[in-house]
Each structure stands twice: as C-alpha cells, then as structure tokens.
Structure 1
Amino acid sequence: MADVNPFYLGTFIVYLLIVLAIGVWGYTKTTDVMDFWAFGQNMGPWLATWSFVANFVSAVSVIGFIGAVYGEGYALMTHTIFGLMLGTSALYFAVDRVRNLDLLTFPDIIADVTGYDAARPIAGTVLLGNGWLYLVMQLVGASLLVTAITGVPYEYMVWVIGIVFIAYTVLGGLISVAWTDFLQGTVMVAAVLLALGFMLFDLGGFTSINQQFGALDSSYVNPTAGGAYTALGIVATIVAFFGTIFTEQNNIVRIAATKDVRTAKLHLAASGVILSVFYSALVILGGATTVALDAGGLSIETQDGAFPTLITEYVPDEVGIILILAVMSAILSTTDTRLHSTGITTARDIYSYFRPESGDDSQLKVSRLATIVFGITATAAAVNPPGTIIELYNFRAVLLTSAFLLPVYMGLYWAGLSGKAILASIVTGAILGVGTELTGGLFGVPSTFIGVGSALLVLLLGSVLLSGSEPKGGAMAGD
C-alpha cells in the first residue's frame, strides 16, 4: 500500500458518512412507492435544478473528460460537450409535451406512443443495459481517485464505494438521491471553479495555459484535434450525445418528479446555464492539468489517471481536498441516479408488466431488490473494467441514441406512424448501432449514423406497410 494522506482519507470518510446520513433521513420520508420513484411528483425548481446538474456531471465529466483533454486536447468541446449542451437546450422545447403526458418513465412514453404496453419491457431492457454500463463507469472513476489518494488497493476500494452508494439509494429512493444531489451539485460546481482559479493563478492565467498547451502539441488547441476527427465523425458524435439527453431514463423521471410544467421548464433552463459554465471551466482545467503534469515531469499510465495524479502529486493538500470533494460529488451524484433508475425500470417497466396485479408495496420491494442486484453486479464488473471511462461513455451514447431518439420522438409528434414499426425501429437501431460500434463502424460510416439511419428506415417503411392495420403511434400528438 502507498503512503496514506490523512487529510484526503479523512475527507473521504466524512463525505461518505454525510451522504449515508442523508440516505437514512430520506428513508424516514419515503412512505410509498411514488416517493421512492418520483419524490411524490412534488419537486420544486431549486431542488430539481441542482439535482439535474449533479446527475448530469459524473466520473465521465470530471475524470473522463479531463483525461480526454489530456489525450486529445480541446476538441472534446467541439463534439461531445456541444452535443450534450445542444440536447439540453432542445429538451427545454419538448419538456412541456413530455410533462403534460403525466407519465413516469421513458418506457411509459414509448408505450403511449406505440399503443403497445409490451414496449415497456422491451425499452426497459435497453435502458437497464445503459444504466448498468453507467454504474460501472462511475465506480471505476471513484475507485481510481480514492485508490490514488488513500493507497488502498483498487479492488477493495471499488467495493467500499459500491456498498455505500447502494445503501443510501436503497434507503430513500429519489428523496435521498435528490437531496444528496443538491449537496453534491453545489459543492461540485463551486469546487471546480475554485480549483480552476488556483490553476490559472499558478500557471500564469488562461493565455499562458493555452500557449503552453499548444506548445506541447499544436493539435491540442485545434477544435478538430488537428484533423484526427472527420467532419462526419464530429457530426456523428454530436448526434449521439444530443440523443442521450432525450433518452436517459433518469432525465424523464426527473421531469415527471417536478410538480408542474413551469417547474420542469425552469429547471432545464437553469441547469443549461450552470452546465455550460461548468463544462467550459472543466475543459480549461483539463488543459491546465496537462500543462502542470508536463511541467512537473509527472507521467501516468492511462489518461483516466491524469486528474487523480494532479491531485496527489501536484496541488497542495488544501486544494487537493477541494478537488476530491468535486470529484466525489460528481461521481456519487450520478451513480445514485443511475442506480435509482435501474430500480424503477425493473419494477415499473418490466415487473409490473408481467405482474399487473402487483401492488405498490410489492413494486417498492422489487425496486429496492433490483437496486441492490444491479449495484453489486456493476461493482463486481468495475473490479476489472472493460475499457476506459470515455470509451464506455461513448458506447452507451450510441446505444441510447440509435435505439430511441427518432422512433420515440417522431412517434410523439407524428400521429401517423405505426406502433409496430416504432418497436421494430427501436430494436433495429439498438442492434445495429451497438453492433457496428463494437466493430468500429461499417464502410467508414460512424456507428451512430448506421444505428439512427437503420432505425429511421425501418420506421418509415414499416409505417407505410402497416398503415391502418394496428394502433397508431403518437396518441398524444394532437392534444
């Protein structure tokens, strides 16, 4: 074991105790399944905003994105982050339609659009795959950081962190998750801005960082990474991450949890502003991290280790504690959200379909049990992760966008589409999008375009062939 830094270890322990305490408190406020699933559909704008922000920013954002800037420069802002912010802005204009449906989950919406209740378990299965991948990413990021700062072996730290976030999510559901997110979101944004302020002062300001960053490799300050990305590849990445905003189960659940349409719109608008500032600061911090590590002669084994190395080897302990709080807030706030989503997806979208007579108490038990099972299996997988954080992040973006973006939202706004065609389109997009992502594309075409394009083709052809033969999608389109 490496030397243990008592300041960092103490911060980590106190942080875990605080979120566990919020989980216990949330348990006392959870009286029924709707409290556990959707905060009783009574979440106000302030809590909803910070919960959305905290849920949005994850290990991918803090460790993975800074690692990506370390590896390829500012081009991350051109594709991935632009796609995410564009999606958030666009969702603002669709949120009134989504909230007025008064449905709880994304599979609920798909069932309404297609006219087939069987859409719920089909869509739920895809969402569970996405949620599980996200859990693995978060655990990898958290454990890499805490292993670096405490010296505890990675394979043990994964289990410590996994058990803690499983415990407080199981206890209070969205009540625990929302209030821990409120704490973690504010801490996270403040800590990253303070840390950036320190790095700007330490390295001579933004212009100096930019010049040193470009001197290391001129492609780092090129918006397309010196030609490493084709125009087609950039557009495909933007589309992939744009689509995740509309198709994440946790985003739909949060919209359903707000108390009215006005609150739903307000929390998205405020979140978009906060996240735009946050991600701009994070990309600059990534450049500063690269410059600092190079100046200090500090090497790393993988790009995911860049930010943990900055914390442990470069910055003073006082700044390191601030950064640890930022990273832990980002990781746990997203981890608990995804874990909560797996519970609600299993119980609401799959279990209740096959057991329609099940009551609220039964579904609450299934939600909690699923939360435990998915949490434990993701923790076990994170012990030996199948790829870097950013690689896993890209994979699940292709999955969600290929499967859901066009079939669901075209069905929501276009009443003439066939319900069967929408379901076939979802399955086709998921299979071909994921399949070609695993093989690196097809004939030079990015996997996102293959998945989305095949889904669109099946949707349109299927609707023409099946027109008039079964229930139509877009039942709410004329409301």
Structure 2
Amino acid sequence: MSASNPTLITFVIYIAAMVLIGFMAYRSTNNLSDYILGGRSLGSVVTALSAGASDMSGWLLMGLPGAIYMSGLSESWIAIGLIVGAYLNWLFVAGRLRVQTEHNGDALTLPDYFSSRFEDKSGLLRIISAVVILVFFTIYCASGIVAGARLFESTFGMSYETALWAGAAATIAYTFVGGFLAVSWTDTVQATLMIFALLLTPIIVLLATGGVDTTFLAIEAQDPSNFDMLKGTTFIGIISLMGWGLGYFGQPHILARFMAADSVKSIANARRISMTWMILCLGGTVAVGFFGIAYFSAHPEVAGPVTENHERVFIELAKILFNPWIAGVLLSAILAAVMSTLSCQLLVCSSALTEDFYKAFLRKSASQVELVWVGRAMVLLVALVAIALAANPENRVLGLVSYAWAGFGAAFGPVVLISVIWKKMTRDGALAGILVGAITVIVWKHFELLGLYEIIPGFIFASLAIYLVSLMGQPSAGMVQRFEAAEKDFHLNK
C-alpha cells in the first residue's frame, strides 16, 4: 500500500479532520450535560443532519445498493417504510420529547426520562431500560466496527485484525474527547459527505451508461422484472419491510438528538432539513444500485468484484468512474456512515453506564468533572468490548443485529410515543410495555411466526400492554401536572 495512494491520503485527511473536531468540542464540554447532550444547544441544521447521519450506517452505501442491484426496485419498500417512520417520529415525538425531558428532571437519557416521568422510586424502570440499551447497543457497536474493518480491509488490503483497530480508533478518539458535541458536529460533516456521494455517483453512472433511456433499456434487457415493485414479494413481505419505520420511535441514539435541540422552535425546521436529506440520500442509494445493473451488464469485464459481493457496487463504481482523489472522497462517505452511527452508539452506552448506573446508584454526589471522566472511561470500556466481539466477524452474536432495531423499536417505541401524547400512562404501564415489547420480539424471531417482521407484533402488543395496564392504575397528580405543563410549553413554542 503506497503512501501516495490518493484514497489513503483522503482517508487520513478525513479522519484527522474528525479528530480535530473532537478536540474543538472538548473545549465546550464542562459538565455531564455537555458530554451527554451537548448542553441542549444544537441548532436546527445540526439536529437534523446529526439525526440523519446517526441513523444511516454503512447499510446506506453498501447493503441497500447491493440489494437493489441484485433484485431491482422490489427491495425499495424498506426505504419507503423508513421515510414514513422517520417523518412520523419527527412530527409526533421530536418536539414533545424535547419539552417532556426538560420538565421531567431535565433528563439526559431515556432511562432517566422514564424514571422521572413515571416517578419510579424503585429504580426498576431505569435499570431495565439501561440494560436493554447496553446489551443491544454493544452488539450494534460490534457490527459497526466490523463494517469499518471490512472497508479498510477491502480498500487498502490490510489484514482483518489491523483493519479492525484502524477503523475503530478515530471514532473512539473523537467520541472519547469531545462527547456529544463532537459526535453531532462530525455527524453534520459526515451527513454532507454522504449526500454529496449519493447525488453525484448516480448522475455519473447515468452519463457513463448513455443517459436515462439507454440505461433503462439496458436494465430492462437484463431482466424486465427489475422495474416490478412487487417482484417476489408478498403482502406479509411488504408489510414487514415497511414495518422498519416503526423502529424510529424507540432508537435511543436518534431520540437523543431531539432531546439535545436548543429549543422546540428548532424542531420544525430540523424536520424539513432532515427529511429532505433522508429522501435524497435514499433516492440516491436506490439509483446507485439500479443504474449499476446497466453499467455492469455493459461492462462485464469489470463486474467480477460486484458479482462476488453485490454490496461492493457503490465501491466499484466510485473506483472505476472517478479520478482517484474524488473516489477517495466518495469512499470516505462509507467511512462517514459507519463512524457517525458507531460514535452515537458508543455515547449512548456511555451515557447509560454513567448517568443510569454510576451516578444513580454508586456516586449520587459525584462532581461534574468526575462524571465527565467516568463517561469517557465508559466509552473506552464499551469500545473494547465491541472490538472483542468484532474480533471474529463470523461470531454468531452479530446475527442479533438483525433484530436489535426491532428490539429497540418494540421495547422503547410505544413507551416513548405514548408517554409524550397520553397523560394517563402509568409507571406499571411503561414497565409492561418495555417487557412485552422486548419479549415479543425475541419469541417471534425465534419461532419465525407467519414470516412477519418481529417489530410489528412487538409494537402492537407493547402498545396494548401500556394501555391496558395503565387503565388499572392512576398517574399521580404530579405526573399529570408535569405532563400538562410540558404539553402547554410545546404548543406555545412549536
């Protein structure tokens, strides 16, 4: 691997820039609120792009284009489901969660919010929700580290072991140093890089294949069913793919962006920016995979790597069609997607350990400086556990990632959504919702019932459990009073 390799130089410059942003954020990090939520100071642009980038991992530039390349437009239902789910999350949850967390003890984490919102003196809600976060997110972090390692391995010919550390080191560095502000500021840069790559690449592929008409004729010649949205699908299959959108209501790393906004007034503008970014990115992703069918059918001599692994379609198109320096920038977008999601997950795990275990149960009187350094230590701890899990990329534990999204969506989604719109929800209802949602996902996945994606029954049963159990009790006067004050604040300022 030559030191003059343009892709290598581009990667090094990009990683150095991210670490530099981390050190800039370090100067603005004075207490635990700054480290975990950036002092609730994010403007609408950073809130919007950070929420988008933290959501879209390497799947956006590798998994989805590869699926479209293999099967055509029938794989795009998941993108439609994600767009609908993200929009509803911004519309119903974002602003309300921002004010509810402030009115309920200025909560910094989801477990902290649940505990304050439902006056849970036992600490059971906090412990159970923090454990769910730690288990699922540590596995998520491992999958992100594997994705980063695979990128370095395939791009630079490194051994997997070396690539593992190379891919993880920069993300750990800026998250450790700068906390939430570093993660959010780098997410903004990464989101910009991702949309640049996903708008430019399909345009150049289209030009390289002779324009729209020629490209579509080539795709049709390869297989007319590539245009068929219903090819190989069933009603259950489409509902399952669309069901991915339900997951947004319960993803802690996305919800943290709403909690960190500087005010409710920023949310509406952030929603418009974020949804525009998301639609353009997903549209570009689908276009890369779809137009790639035409390009590689016309150039079979360079199709070998994509035939071997269809998830390389974006990587190969970038290498073939662009100047090496531009290709380096485009490939950095994959690294950006991986790093943006991994950094958020590391920070959410660190927050759960610091705020919901260390401060809540071990050191209630800990100083802010102590808590910030404990938060940093927890970032390192979680990262080392994730690297250990990722050391064997074939480890079965990474298979759990396929329903970690469903686990969060079903365990936390209904609790978060109903807690911000229904004042009669009780602590026992919240506890029932988390347990029923999580258990349903695990059982449904194990038995693969009806071929239906487990988040759908999990979300429905958890919502029913919250409603029915809440009806058996009554929220305290204080809970109702805080809810109504927050709701009034939301409507006055939205």
Aligned to 2:275: 272
Shift of 1:392: 6.1
Deviations 1:22-63 (A, max 9, x none): 222222332222221111211222332332332233211111
Q: Distance in 2 between matches of 1:84 and 1:350?
A: 33
SS of residue paired to 1:73: helix
Q: Structure 1 length normalisation: TM-score?
A: 0.89
Q: Distance in 2 between matches of 1:35 and 1:473?
A: 27
Q: Is residue 60–residue 390 contact of structure 1 (8 Å, CA) maintained in 2? A: no
Distance 1:388 1:277, change over 3 A: farther
Distance verdict in 2 for CA 1:447–1:92, change over 3 Å: closer
- Work out whether 1:209 is the aligned partner of 2:215: yes
The 3 A distance-change label for structure 1 pair 4 and 150 is farther
Aligned counterparts, 1:336-347, within 5 A = 336-347=343-354
Task: Give, in angstroms, the shift of residue 87 of structure 1.
Answer: 2.0
CA change 1:402–1:219 in 2 (3 A) is: farther
Would the alpha carbon gap of residues 294 and 374 (structure 1) be closer, same or farther in structure 2, given more than 3 Å must change?
farther
Aligned AA (2:358): Y
Q: Which residue is equivalent to 1:478? A: 484
Q: Is the 8 A contact 2:21 2:182 kept in 1?
A: yes
Q: For 2:407, which of 395, 399, 403 is the aligned residue?
A: 399
What TM-score do you get using the length of structure 2 for normalisation?
0.87
Q: Percent of pairs identical after alignment?
A: 23
Letter of the 1:317 counterpart = P
Supply the distance in 2 between the matched residues of 1:357 and 1:124 (Cα, whole angstroms).
Answer: 20
Residue equivalent to 1:164: 170
Q: After TM superposition, list the pairs within 5 Å mapping 1:26-425 onto structure 2.
A: 26-78=25-77, 80-94=78-92, 95-101=94-100, 102=102, 103-116=107-120, 117-224=123-230, 226=231, 228-239=232-243, 241-297=244-300, 298-299=303-304, 300-312=307-319, 316-355=323-362, 356-386=364-394, 394-425=402-433
Q: Partners in 1 of 2:237 and 2:387 — Cα distance?
A: 32
Cα separation, 2, equivalents of 1:303 and 1:384: 22
User: Structure 2 counterpart of 1:87, which letter?
Assistant: G
**What does residue 441 of structure 2 align with?**
433
Contact 1:417 1:463 in 2 (8 A): yes
Cα distance, 1:197 vs structure 2: 1.8
Partners of 2:142 and 2:398 within 8 A in 1:
no
Cα distance in 1, alignment partners of residues 70 and 401 from structure 2? 16
Aligned residue for 1:29, secondary structure, equals coil
Question: Aligned in 2, Cα 1:210/1:419: closer, same or farther, shift over 3 Å?
Answer: farther
Quote the Cα distance in structure 1 between the aligned partners of 2:398 and 2:310. 10
Q: Give the drift of 1:172.
A: 0.6
> Distance in 2 between the 1:210 and 1:168 partners?
44
Cα–Cα, structure 1 residues 100 and 418, in superposed 2: closer, same or farther, change >3 Å? closer
User: Structure 2 CA distance, aligned partners of 1:84 and 1:475?
Assistant: 35
CA distance in 2, matches of 1:220, 1:382: 35
Tell me, which stretches of 5 or more residues in structure 2 are unaligned? 486-494
Equivalent pair of 1:429/1:455 in contact (CA under 8 Å): yes
Q: Distance in 2 between matches of 1:442 and 1:471?
A: 42
Distance across 2 between alignment mates of 1:169 and 1:135: 13
Q: What amino acid maps onto 2:51 in structure 1? A: F
Tell me the distance in 1 between the aligned counterparts of 2:455 and 2:309: 26
Q: Which stretch of structure 1 is more off in the superposition, 61-70 or 299-308?
A: 299-308
Q: Which amino acid aligns with 1:194?
A: L
Residues 48/416 of structure 1: CA separation in 2 closer, same or farther (3 Å cut): closer
Two-structure CA RMSD over aligned residues (Å) = 2.9
Cα deviation, 1:322-349, whole Å, max 9, x if unaligned, reads 3212212222222212222211122123
CA contact (8 A) 2:73 2:226 kept: yes
